[in-house]
Amino acid sequence: MALKVGIIGGGQLARMMIAPAVELGLDVRVLAEQPDMSAALAATATGDYRDLETVRAFAREVDVVTFDHEHVPQEVLRALVADGVAVHPGPDALQFAQDKLRMRARLAELDVPQPEWAEVADAAQLQTFLDANGGRAVVKTPRGGYDGKGVRVVTSPAEVADWFGDGALLAEELVDFSRELAQQVARRPSGDLVAYPVVETVQRGGVCAEVIAPAPHGALRLTEVAAGIGASIAEGLGVTGMLAVELFETTDERLLVNELAMRPHNSGHWSQDGAATSQFEQHLRAVLDLPLGDAAPRQPWAVMVNILGGPADASLESRLPAALAAHPAAKVHTYGKAPRPGRKVGHVNAIGDDLDAVVYEARATAAFFGD
């Protein structure tokens, strides 16, 4: 009998697990929020992931439950665990991805390097933090933010006045970084762990635009330190499945943890075409407690460029023939989503020996889908 894996959430991360699930012979099932989502091909149920009975009915039919996102409420997750369901990552780990204040506090306990931070309950506490940090800070809502939402750079408490009154906020030092990196690791429930090469991520407007794997100018010590941070967090937080650690590299060569994600992550999409084991296959292996795959690059360089939705008439389908004709070796991955402006609707991977050529190919292919 095929192992049955249930994915909660019907977005593109669930969609991209379908291909490796088929190859590994898994029976993959998705609980989608709505019909016709990215992972519709494998959707066996539609419903609200916040509703315990909906999730419980879905979980009853599978061997392990995992996720397309981190938004399933703790009480739902804990009820599943109490039912005896294998949930990976589990609620004890996911709480740190769901709440940035808890994450900061736990990383501090683990002595993982991170920016200066404070829990600020009101304007006075934020002013104190600003005064101690050069008059500037990044303020974040502890829950619900993504892709730049729920994050503001401020010089005065008034700039987040609308956020106070609904629990404490997280204030962080505005790090003077030279670039952003991301470290991915996979961890099995039994403890085995595999680290991917650390990659460079380029953000535009708070959204990941481009990823270079491995990170250029990756001194051996840099890659070791990054992998060590990833392993410490995966072990310290009890993560199972894929973990992505977004990092700042400072001009004085420190690595500081920015954000965490406990699932496949945009910074790892390059691995679909560039690594021996893609992050999507790896996540499935890890959550099923199967032996992990080799995370080494298949070629010296891989570059991923996101495709963001443009005008409604610029559907991916209409642009695809010209892009494929111009770039026969580039890999275009689509998410089956309506192209609203700024929405991630796909990405392009290019791989090869020469970084300049690979960057060019990925960008030039993605440009066919732009405005």
Using CB under 8 A as the binding rule, the residues of this chain from 38 to 77 that contact a second copy are: 41-42
Smallest CA-to-CA distance from 279 within 291, 290, 293 is with 293
Contact of 62 with 52, CB cutoff 8 Å: no
Stretch that binds a second copy, among 94-102, 128-136, 228-236, 331-339 (CB under 8 A): 331-339
- Taking the complex as a whole, how short is the minimal distance between the CB of residue 181 and a second copy, in angstroms? 24
Which of 18, 32, 118, 234: binder of a second copy (CB under 8 A)? 18
Q: Write out the H or E segment, with its range, that includes residue 355.
A: helix 355-367
Q: Binders of a second copy among 224-283, rule CB under 8 A?
A: 276-277
C-beta closer to a second copy: residue 42 or 171: 42
Among the listed ranges 16-24, 114-122, 125-133, 222-230, the one in contact with a second copy (CB under 8 A) is 16-24
Footprint (CB under 8 A) of a second copy, residues 289-328 = 290-294, 296, 298-299, 316-317, 320-321, 324-325, 328
Whole-number minimum distance, CB 19 to a second copy, in Å?
3
Contact flag: residue 287 with a second copy (CB under 8 A): no
Q: How far is the CB of 303 from a second copy (least distance, A)?
A: 15
Relative to beta strand 64-67, strand 4-8 is: parallel
Instruction: Calculate the CA 83 to chain-centre distance.
Output: 28
Binder of a second copy out of 132, 329, 338, 357 (CB under 8 A): 329
CB 22 → a second copy: shortest distance, Å? 6
Are 201 and 182 spatial neighbours (Cβ–Cβ below 8 Å)? Answer: yes
End-to-end CA separation in angstroms for the chain = 48
Q: Identify which of residues 156 and 334 has a Cβ nearer to a second copy in the complex.
A: 334
> Site size for a second copy, by CB under 8 A?
41
Burial of 336 (C-beta count, 10 Å sphere; 0-12/13-18/19+) = middle
- Is residue 191 close enough to count as binding a second copy by CB under 8 A? no
| Helix or strand run (H / E) with residue 140 | strand 137-140
- d(C-alpha 301, C-alpha 110), whole Å: 33
Counting contacts by CB under 8 A, is residue 214 touching a second copy? no
Which is nearest to 269 in space by CA: 347, 324, 197, 335?
A: 347
Minimum distance of a second copy from residue 24's CB (angstroms): 6
In this structure, which amino acid lies at residue 66?
A: T
Residue 331 CB, shortest distance to a second copy, in Å, is 7
Site of interaction with a second copy (CB under 8 A): 1-3, 15, 18-20, 22-25, 28, 41-42, 276-277, 285, 290-294, 296, 298-299, 316-317, 320-321, 324-325, 328-329, 331-336, 346, 351
